[in-house]
Structure 1
């Protein structure tokens, strides 16, 4: 265990759209961390410029995280303090971060995750679907295992939350319609916290018709009601 209460790794949520959603504590951590680990240094660089923060940036993303973890742990053990951010939202929630947090914990290092923005919470509330109990599924597999994952949810009574990309939205809604039935209620949320935020509610059949005539851009959260 570490002999200090000074965290070796901060996990710092960043805005999912509106830059004003950054917390005061997150700003302070980003100002004082020795190094900021960023999923995309260009995206994080824009945020830091907006906040007038100048700190060293290092790339940490899905393609290099396995190789980077061991060296980062060594640097933390040597006394460096890191702040981990993703392009938007909370790191490790459908973004890189889990491997580093686990390795840091296993090494006896102190990890501190700040509360803050994550896309599925406002999407769930905006959906007007039951939110006292829900299951977060994140991104479905693109190919192998996709059908099995959906089939495993056929009897799920809780509201289900999925992340999806714009070009797969209609495919996913169609698969949900086939599995859950055309009348199952759902909501598609996109551009959350931004100027063109949109939350479209209806049956899966109605949503398919809507998006066949209204192509979308931006990050998407699909919320689907559970089985009654």
Structure 2
């Protein structure tokens, strides 16, 4: 599967933030937070990393994890110490050092979503969990996106990766899918009056057994056979250095004899 080229994140970010500040964007974020809060409250560990496209969005406030931080794509004014500026495709974190990874639309707004997911799997310790939040192509929003004249603007320029595609990627990375949840069933109209008038359609879609909400949330666990989950290297105490005899060589033995 090929993905369309997107604008550089530095160019895209102001438009993306403006959309999240709109009424529809705020409603979507609120619905996402309700679902994610329920999931992260059950995930434990020492370190949680959220891959974000908007540094203002923090979806880990209900998490019991000791240390939570965000990985954001660009430097911004007013950033606190809980942010790391890095490319989501190349995270400067140690291998298997994080207990929980939260991807908030990080796969939707990148030229290489599979590489971003691979990085999330790399830094995730065995037994750790990943939570993926993204737009759902099998929803009224996905249908609206096909005929929208604003395909080059957020959120319609997102990738809208299907659940089936994500499931295949998870299996390749030894990630076992545990939950699949969708939410936010309002129609994709920017005006609140239009969305409220179509509340009957929203309720019928919500009662449908299919996963057709505007966003999807997937929870997966990193399972690797033959490996025992270890605590993160950041929390391990310094080991006591035990002197070990170095292996001798012919050259070293000859030098010792000459000195005698």
Normalised by the shorter chain, which TM-score bucket?
Answer: 0.3 to 0.5
Larger radius of gyration: 2
Higher-RCO chain (CA-CA 8 Å, sequence separation at least 6): 1
Structure 1 or 2: larger helix share? Answer: 1
